[in-house]
Amino acid sequence: MNGIEKNTQFIKLLAAKLGFNYCGIAKAQLLSEDARRLESWLNKGMHGKMQYMENNFDLRIDPTKLVPGAKSVITLLLNYYPAQQQNEAAPKIARYAFGNDYHDVIRTKLNEMLHEIKATIGEINGRGFVDSAPVMERSWAQKTGLGWIGKNGNLINKQSGSYFFIATLIVDLELQLDDGYVKDYCGTCTQCIDSCPTDAILPDKVVDGSKCISYFTIELKDALIPEAMKGKFDNWMFGCDVCQEVCPWNRFSKPTSEINFSPLPAILNFTTSDWEDLTEESFKLIFKNSPLKRSKFAGIKRNLHFTAQ
């Protein structure tokens, strides 16, 4: 076994030891085709008021601008599918937000991974990313054969579905590359397109972010949600899982073994009146480690009021 093979094997074993479910490696190179798609999407205004999507375009498509001398892009998938479900009558919360904030959980794992790589292989230059920089993580995951991009824009893994967080580690270390693209197994199925409450999923694997319930309930910081959306949220208060719930491939989803993603009791058990009676002080205390803090107390109350109308 040569040095490249040995280092690759070490990294894959390390990823598994840290709890990642899948690990794929691609060559660090310019994502020219993805760049064209992203530019078209931005030009059509499908990012709504997410102005940050327009920033650092060159960094999004070229990993060597994020890590000088980058040679490999390591993609890591971490399952978040919960074993338990919410109280059915309560305002709905996307499953990814049931437990602790994934940014914190995965960032800790990536830092540990980089530390272990440097301690074992030697001094390398590398950076880990989890929604923290302009990285096209789904494109890199697809390049390594970890899945295909579904019609709902999610990465779908044939064995495990789509309830995964994607993390990226870019390093200036030459590693063995994984086989490229896997077949697109969506076929003629249009369940996600047909079921989207706001018609945000368009043909040709384009998602209009400015129409997505997740955009309105998490990203949009305006005091009011547009009146045109009234009656379309299907009781979703934070995020939306409809396109994943109807995806046939998610019949293969298995509960996560990551303890940090164990659902908060409040997420599972709160009734509508519990949410309505929640004070800002209690919100900050109960959800201090939760993704819900991204919407802030005012955003949750706005969403709650809007979905109740």
Q: Which residues contact 48 (CB under 8 A, 6 or more apart)?
A: 209, 210, 215, 219, 220
The per-residue pLDDT of the chain, averaged, comes to 90
Q: What is the pLDDT of residue 232?
A: 94
Q: What is the pLDDT of residue 35?
A: 59
Average pLDDT over residues 176-202: 93
Distance, CA of 13 to CA of 32 (rounded, Å): 31
199 is catalytic: no
In this structure, what token pair is assigned to residue 182?
């896997």
In this prediction, residue 268 has a pLDDT band, given cuts at 50, 70 and 90, of very high
- Lowest model confidence (mean pLDDT) among 37-41, 111-115, 142-146: 37-41
Q: Which residue in the list 34, 62, 131, 184 is annotated as catalytic? A: 131
- pLDDT tens profile 249-260: 999 999 999 999
- pLDDT tens profile 153-170: 999 999 999 999 999 999
The residue to which tokens 């709905």 are assigned: 92
In this prediction, residue 290 has a pLDDT band, given cuts at 50, 70 and 90, of very high
- pLDDT tens profile 24-81: 999 998 876 665 666 665 666 655 555 555 555 566 678 888 899 999 999 999 999 9
